[in-house]
Amino acid sequence: MDTKANGPHSSPALDRIDEAIIDVLRHQGRITYEKLSSLVHLTPRPCLERVRKLERRGVIRGYGAIIDVQMVYPGLSLLVLVALSNQRGRSAQKAFEACVKACPQVFECQLISGPFDYSLRMRCRDMEHYRVLTESWLNNDELHIDKLVAHPELAEVKNTAPALA
């Protein structure tokens, strides 16, 4: 295995076998070790050891099912961009992050650069549900939200990154 580091505190780089294991597990998380080992050209025991090492290093953070979210949570899927006012700095960020972590309608939240501070993926019953929810955020003085811009998602074109626990 290639042990060169990418930086002073980074883990060893992944080799082609590790990358092959990760690629297979991304698409077939319930595969047997026997089948996985044959796909990556290893015997089962070394394959199992590599998977466990990737888990210990945190490269593989968990396993999960790919859910058809529309079937479980019917309604509107939205990409929402959020800009916070610059007056409060980190305290506004902490308050906003705590709010979205506690909000079951928010499935993803990323801190981003540019004119907006956050990108959210949300599911709401309809636009009225979204309006009521975000209005409560805008009225919460602790959050210091300057602007919300919603983009309803019309269709999923590609989704290759299953949710990780």
Tell me, yes or no, whether 85 and 122 share the same domain: yes
* N- to C-terminal Cα separation, the chain: 27
- Residue 143 maps to which CATH number? 3.30.70.920
* Pair 76, 68: CB distance under 8 Å: no
User: What are the φ/ψ torsions at residue 82 (nearest 5 degrees)?
Assistant: -125, 130
User: Cα-Cα-Cα-Cα dihedral of 112, 113, 118, 120, to 10°?
Assistant: -50
Q: Is residue 76 part of a domain?
A: yes
Q: How far is CA 142 from CA 40, 47, 55, 132, 133, in A?
A: 51, 50, 38, 18, 15
Tell me, yes or no, whether 56 and 109 share the same domain: no
* Pair 64, 29: CB distance under 8 Å: yes
pLDDT for 7 equals 45
- Residue 18 maps to which CATH number? 1.10.10.10
pLDDT for 149 equals 97
Domain holding 125, by residue range, is 69-152
Q: Is residue 147 part of a domain?
A: yes
Extract the residue ranges of the chain whose pLDDT is less than 70: 1-11, 87-88, 161-165
Structural domains counted in the chain:
2
Q: Which runs of E-coded beta strand occur in 6-165?
A: 76-84, 106-111, 118-124, 145-152
Query: Which of these three, 13, 30, 63, is where a domain ends?
Result: 63
CA distance 105 to 123: 5
Tell me, yes or no, whether 73 and 51 share the same domain: no
Tell me, yes or no, whether 54 and 73 share the same domain: no
Tell me, yes or no, whether 85 and 145 share the same domain: yes
Query: Which of these three, 63, 84, 105, is where a domain ends?
Result: 63
The reply to whether the predicted model has a pTM over 0.85 is no
Q: Smallest Cα–Cα separation from 82: which of 13, 35, 7, 151?
A: 151
